[in-house]
Chains A and B, each alone.
Chain A
């Protein structure tokens, strides 16, 4: 049924490449750069050829390929994090025109229509800058450790299926489970402040890790971790260590630090109901405190 194809398909035509019709139009970008961790930051301007339907990733790809600033100087390519380019891996978070968002789903046409011709790119402000737009987000994952965001199974031997779960419970849990640890919520959260711990010369790696972990744990754990705690406290097996999660959430850096600014839910690229999780955690914390009082 399939005939021998004599057609040679140009890869560009097949996959949405466009001709040079827009060659004259350009996109102007201002990037806040920083060469090394702890170094000085500085602004640099770039200009790349416009293409329809392009996103901030394709702008950065073009900057990397040209490695020239707007005034024609040879510069090192801008460093940035990215991976899936379809807003599901959580890598490419940055401040774009002052708003925390994913570079892959930030379309240039929309940015220019909303904010004017020049696009401004800055690294997230709540994490230590590694280089340019790359930041160190280890603390995000530390938050997941702290609240024990996992189902405490005995092991991976075959013990039959998991618990039965109603469609309503699944529909409640699923959105929380799509959290990709991008960090948008903590970037927007006034209570989550930057913690930067620099390794001392006289310190071993293990000592440094320990000191850094303690510093992370002293700060607010963040909306994402609170939400994960609620996700696992709602799971029939996960809730078997609900008390341990509540213990973590009511210690230093816990739910009491939330100032209810509600910025988190407004910036979440996955529209996860973070404030609902926080409200639940708040109520659970109250119950937990009373329970502890009577258990004494």
Chain B
């Protein structure tokens, strides 16, 4: 390792953005990916990417409002300085992607067109058809290919990250990876290692995520000592197409372009949906949330769809849960132009044309808000200090995390079209930090450390290959884990389910040790690679369940009905006012207790040790999320009075009381 060198694990938007910028800054990058980087899961992102733009600015929008929407939508669980930096960078990120040739949709004048997404009242979302993630990824892939030709980037595609290599001081000095074709192990010494390995949807069996989203890389870092933040916050996307191998995403842009969610008022109305008159249709999102309508934040849309099917019994089908997502009132030509890609997916996989017939959809696990804990250095203006060694660094010095696999940007719930921004932003922003890390390289010889880690990995691999007589099937065990996690740790969470589920997962982790591999070969052995990844799902599943069990409140995607704060019931003004006061007291007390990041560190046998850290809410004081709550106006009035008083007292914190 003569020249400065960074090892990037994962070639989705975040990994490619970091690689592109690092190469541009003259740093050599080894880019490791399970699949050719052009096939990374980022291609599945459909709807778009958010930033303030010239149009919204004139309607009163600015970066601060984008920050506000993001932290409000995230129920204030994210540290605000990194979010501020991200939303400040938004316009620059979009401009850059535009220059790289992303075919964003255009207005008749040739400017970028924008659409509206959930959780905001502004049209902030730039989009390229209905395959925005794919288009952004390709633009970065092309730039990285260009750098590869120049010799600054070396790709290691079809390689699996197995473990970070730490020295005696706990500093990350590189990693050991495995070639998925030849099954050989290799040491990757580096000045810094960056994980950009995405989410962990496969812990839930079927989700909207790609088959590579096992979370194994993050789990391996976690088991090596990295902290994991806010694991219990898993976004369940309101609209997915049910399927036996995967739950395919139906983008929020379908609603952004005017799609309406409804169910027949008569349970399982047998009529053709197109022939059901307006009066017999229940547009429940529009009726319950007149301000945001079909574009309420994702966690709310998901719970409402879940509620209408399970509690109200209004699922459109009897043996399967689903609601209608209806686009049939929009002209075909508009649909083809703006949503062509996603409508084709529905048509291809369901055999029904959604331009003619309302789609049947149901929520599915979609995004991991939680992820590796990362640090940042706050600037004087409330954003971040560019180039600080702390930005995006895990608690293991020299090990960094960016993109979906960090916990930093989305709090308790991610807003639609913010993930593409956070991925590209964190990738670009971490580059100067890594350049500075390279500038302070540690010189001593690490070959012994690497040899030891390679031996350990070879040993683990050999042990797995020798298990031919076990009585557990890894694929069946995975399905069991997925079904359990989907049942207890998605939309509605209850302690009397989470506690036994935790024990079940502990037992499954033990059973995993008896998994038989059916392929003992040493060439492209997908069987053993999967079994290994499955084993690494359990520590993460445990921290999700433990975090959810301990968090006795409702926040964003984490909904525990036993701890929900109901709306107001009194109608008489004075009583209502009193109730609103009490509601605000309760909210402030809850904020005091629970507005904290959940931090998991990996204990013996993969059991999490949970602690809590305060959240930096220094820019925007927390306030109640009142989307659609009965009596919300009265509560808001009381809250605003208190906030004004608090500001008067120089203390603009919501958790006073």
Contacts and interface: CB of A to CB of B under 8 A. Distances in A.
A178 B43 CA distance: 10
A3 interface: yes
B492 A85 contact: no
A261 interface: no
Interface in A164-211: 164-167, 169-171, 173-174, 177-178, 180-181
B629 A131 contact: no
Contact of B349 (A18, A35, A105, A153): A105
Interface in B210-256: 210-212, 242-249
Given A84-B210, A141-B36, A153-B143, A53 B244 contact: yes
A7 interface: yes
A167 B527 contact: no
Contacts of A105: 348-349
Contacts of A40: none
B524 A79 contact: yes
B95 A160 contact: yes
A156 B487 contact: no
A17 B319 CA distance: 10
Interface stretch (A8-16, A114-122, A274-282): A8-16
Nearest to B478: A65
B321 interface: yes
A93 B181 CA distance: 18
A161 B288 CA distance: 40
Interface in B551-609: 559, 561-562, 564, 567
Residue from B146, B484, B564 with most neighbouring chain A CB atoms (10 Å): B146
A91 B143 contact: no
A141 B149 CA distance: 12
Contacts of A132: 524
Given A91-B35, A170-B106, A151 B101 contact: yes
A162 interface: yes
Interface string A1-34: 1111111111111111110000000000000000
Contact of A170 (B35, B105, B206, B349): B105
Contact of A16 (B106, B134, B243, B527): B243
Contacts of A79: 524, 526
Interface stretch (A231-239, A247-255, A288-296): A231-239
Interface in A79-132: 79, 81-91, 104-105, 107, 130-132
Contacts, number: 253
Contacts of B205: 11
Contacts of A85: 210-211, 245-246, 248
Contact of B134 (A159, A167, A178): A178
A171 B630 CA distance: 46
B142 interface: yes
Q: How large is the interface on B (under 10, 10 to 19, 20 to 34, 35 or more residues)?
A: 35 or more
B613 interface: no
A174 to B, nearest CB: 5
Contacts of A12: 483
B306 A170 contact: no
A1 B632 CA distance: 11
B362 interface: yes
A138 to B, nearest CB: 8
A61 B103 contact: no
Nearest to B493: A5
A1 B242 contact: no
Interface in B456-487: 473, 475-476, 482-484, 486-487
Contacts of A2: 300, 303-304, 307, 559, 561, 564
A15 B362 CA distance: 8
Nearest to A178: B131
Interface string A260-290: 0000000000000000000000000000000
B345 interface: yes
B310 A83 contact: no
A2 B302 CA distance: 11
A77 B35 contact: no
B304 A7 contact: no
A90 B101 contact: no
A145 interface: yes
Given A2-B304, A15-B206, A16-B320, A177 B245 contact: no
A76 interface: yes
B628 A145 contact: no
B186 to A, nearest CB: 12
B145 A164 contact: no
Given A83-B35, A167-B110, A3 B145 contact: no
B145 A84 contact: no
A242 interface: no
A155 interface: yes
B524 A134 contact: yes
A161 B630 contact: no
15 contacts: A1-B628, A2-B561, A5-B561, A12-B483, A53-B350, A54-B244, A67-B527, A75-B518, A77-B527, A89-B44, A90-B39, A141-B145, A150-B142, A156-B428, A162-B98
Give 10 nearest A-B pairs by CB, closest first: A4-B561, A16-B242, A67-B518, A162-B98, A150-B142, A65-B475, A164-B110, A11-B486, A131-B524, A151-B101
Interface of B: 20-21, 24, 35-36, 38-41, 43-44, 92, 94-96, 98-101, 103-112, 128-129, 131, 134-135, 138-139, 142-143, 145-146, 148-149, 181, 205-206, 210-212, 242-249, 288, 300, 303-304, 306-307, 310-311, 319-321, 337, 341, 345, 348-351, 362, 364, 428, 473, 475-476, 482-484, 486-487, 492, 497, 518-521, 523-524, 526-527, 559, 561-562, 564, 567, 628-630
Given A158-B95, A159-B99, A170-B105, 17 more contacts: A8-B497, A9-B306, A9-B321, A11-B482, A16-B244, A16-B320, A55-B349, A65-B476, A67-B519, A88-B134, A130-B524, A150-B143, A151-B142, A153-B100, A166-B110, A177-B103, A235-B101
